[in-house]
Amino acid sequence: MSTVATIEKAGQKQAVNQLEQLKKFTKIVADTGDIAAIREAQPLDATTNPTLIFKAAQMPEYRFLLDKAVADSKNAPLSPQAKLSQITGDLLVLFGVEILKIVPGRVSTETDARLSFDRDALIECAHNFISLYQKHGVARERILIKIASTWEGIRAAEMLQKEGIQCNMTLLFSLPQAVACAQAGARLISPFVGRILDWYKKSTGKDYAPADDPGVQSVHRIYAYYKKFGYPTEVMGASFRNAGEILELAGCDLLTISPQLLAELKGSTAPVPRKLDPAAAAKSDVQKLDLDERKFRWLFNEDAMATEKTSEGIRNFEADTVKLEKMIAERL
């Protein structure tokens, strides 16, 4: 006989689904470009990336955003590639503006993956996004600029944060990346749980229970490190493969979850115990790690999983950006 979580209402016990239980100690973020799915989930924030926007832009109900982005810049006196880049940026922001009409918090908009090793270009891209949002009446406090957690990306975030532009450090797979982001003052990090699991399953041929999931354990270490050493950078678990990973991170600052897994959590009333607690994490025995560029690059290089998955993620986002630009070029 399975147990369920209940609440007392009007003298009667009512079952509470896992998503509502999770919201008691974790901020829920929707991981999608599908505006209808965001409206259904009612999250606090939302995250997007080139892959999600490319998928959403192909859906008939969002074709008007693509049409608007193309129309606004179609006659701009720019080179073909510059025009494609401008329209792509406009489209990402238009999706963000629509999303912010639904969520009460923030939306994450991703920089071009092809800029991942160019600090100054990343800063310019972020400035462009903020300027575009401001033209739509959106304050910078509601925007998170997503940047890959390369050394150059982290340095860009450090400078942007000093300007009051909040950054979401993505494609993060290791503690050294997380520590460098915290030292740089990044607002938020997005460790990719599921992609870490993918790498270990492929390299070992093993399956992992949620509690033993290498991606879950990575977030536990990062969370403990931040809480012990008092870093204000938020930890947002991302890229989940199953609901079990999510439940093992109950209590994380934020979790960004796909519509499919949000629906799965809503469909279960099994109890959700808290797994991450700041007071307990502050007592952990993790050791302080002070990083400069040399040490960061060495430790990152020593971690085959983090090195491979970061590079792969950059390549995949670049490929989807190119697909998006091709779609736009056809409209032009």
Q: What is the rounded CA–CA span in Å between residue 266 and residue 228? A: 33
- The one-letter code for the residue type at 77 is P
Tokens found for residue 315: 């390549």
Q: What is the rounded CA–CA span in Å between residue 301 and residue 304? A: 7
Q: Assess contact for 28 and 61: CB atoms under 8 A.
A: no
- Partnered with residue 8 across adjacent β-strands are 13
- Partnered with residue 141 across adjacent β-strands are none
Q: Assess contact for 292 and 70: CB atoms under 8 A.
A: no
Distances (CA, A) of 197 to 2, 187, 260: 28, 25, 19
Per DSSP, the residues of 216-254 read HHHHHHHHHHHHHTT---EEEEB--SSHHHHHTTTTSSE
Q: CB 288: neighbour CB atoms within 10 A?
A: 8
Catalytic member of 24, 68, 146, 227? 146
Is-catalytic flag, 201?
no
Q: CB 134: neighbour CB atoms within 10 A?
A: 12
Tokens found for residue 118: 């160019």
- Residues with active-site annotation: 146
